Structure 1
Amino acid sequence: MMVFQQRSITMFEQADEFLAAQRMRRKLSNLSIRCYRSALTRIARWMAQHGESVLSEANIEAYLREIMDNQYSRSTFATATVVLNRWIKFYKLPLRMPGLTMPRQRRQANYISPEEIGVIFANIPRTTAQGITDYAIIDLAYSTGMRRSEICKLQYCDVNWEQRYIFIRYGKRGKQRFVPFMGVLRKSLRAYLKKVRPTKLSAHCSNFFFVSPKGNRPLNDNDMQELNARINNEYSPFKKHITLHRLRHACATHLSENGADLRLIGLILGHGSPDITSEYIDYSEEYLAKVFKKGHPRA
């Protein structure tokens, strides 16, 4: 039985056992483990507040419905669902998950046009080490759809300049893949290698493609968060929150708009299912109208 107490879930003896098993079995990253732990903490607090001590099908459904009714993000709902489902399976509890789904709300603000991305690139100063580095990372995220964790862990030897592909050695859940790169991105990466990396490189991070501003370590999640802040505060004039992850979405969207097959886009992004890939595509109203006019016989 799964018994929650009012103290923090980090003090609950089963949480560490569960998380350690998930990390090993599913090859989860530190970020994923933190998300799992946060989800367990929220569940424990909710149960304590409602006087619940034993996990049941009724309180699982009540908790998930409260997430939906309070308009939490779709990712919060999805994480809670996944964690609860895996907890039930791990401890072999005689419980079934409720068949609840949280519909995706497509918002126009999600769409980032190629023109908007061009403006962002134009606003990045390429005369400073930080500007050259930011330009290369943003270009890499948009041009290849790489995750920010994959960019941080990118090895110098993983970039094949002759055959023009990048080997993603440390993908999500240990999955590896190849992504093509060409055109402007080659120039962006070479500019970083020529003008910035040699001045920052140290023995501590010589294998990594990107190094920290001080050169004493590879890039980490904090560096990426700071870059996200610079994108919105310095490079983007638009009233929408743009991050490296949103640029990954833009990569998928623009590939799709230009005729790329959904399955191939999924291979580039490292997805295991076309359903996941479809979640990344945010069509503009103009594009939808264009497709409708072209394809419908009465348009």
Structure 2
Amino acid sequence: MTENKKYEKNSAFTLVEILIVVIIIGILAGLMALSAGSSTETAERTACRGDQRTVKSAYYVESAERSNSFKTSIENAMAQFSKAQKVSTGEGAAMYKGICPAGGEYIMVQDIVNANSTNGKLTIMCTVEGHNGDAQLSALERLQLWSNIINGMKYSGLNDADFVSSLNQIFGTHLDTGSYFGTNDQVRDLIAKKFDTMPALEKDSALYKELKNTIMKDQTPYVQPYFINEGKETIYWISPKEKSTDKYWYADAIYYNGNWYMKKDGDKYTTSMIAGFNNAKSVKDALQGIGMLDNNGSISSNWVPIG
């Protein structure tokens, strides 16, 4: 009888052992919850990007085959989505909600080519962070994307309230319709806030290597935008300054017609002062002002393509 009681006593769990088991179960439950949450976010992101592609396809059919305007094409395309709810539409931009599984709103604009035309492409941005795939784009491509979003909405026909409201959703700002006018500095500030700094040039690019071997040995090349003609045209250039508030108006390289160019003074590369961009009426006017383009609009001989 004594031996049986001793056996029963030794076979019982101690309080410490029970606590250890409870802690382990809690840790496992937490890991499972994190995994489930991550899986849900991944599924929502994948679904959202798929929906964006579907919207683009429907828009291109409406635009190309039926030769409809942007507003009509986007409204007809979105009518195919039963959950889509129109927030606002203009002649160059639109906002819809109800499609993104995470509750984001879609902001859609036409890509701006120059002051008078678009290239027919549709850019879609979801207001949920991480749903747009822009992290995989190059520094230049990201700037082009966000520049088109901002300036495309500006000239889309949206009223001031809808335009500023859209910007506030995208950038997490508190802009007021009475103080935001879409100036060069204001747009640059918005883009810089999106990235924390202006995006740095990729280290594996030919331009980066050339800059680091010559005029930017101890500096980091950042891609900067300059908006001409009230944002209807954009010049992209390289600067060692990472913030939009840094008033450093010297370009180490300039992007034009699909290529990066650096300026040569004899056998050496040099920077080019671009403060005169402020008074330019067009990209051509701005680049002729710094001698990059000649009177015929051709690249001057002392500007060399890189990459």
TM-score range normalised by the length of the shorter chain? under 0.3
Task: State the structure with bigger RCO (CA 8 A, min sep 6), 1 or 2.
Answer: 1
If the length of structure 2 is used for normalisation, what is the TM-score? 0.27
Greater C-alpha Rg: 2
> Which structure shows the bigger proportion of residues in strand conformation?
2
> Which structure shows the bigger proportion of residues in helix conformation?
1
If the length of structure 1 is used for normalisation, what is the TM-score? 0.28
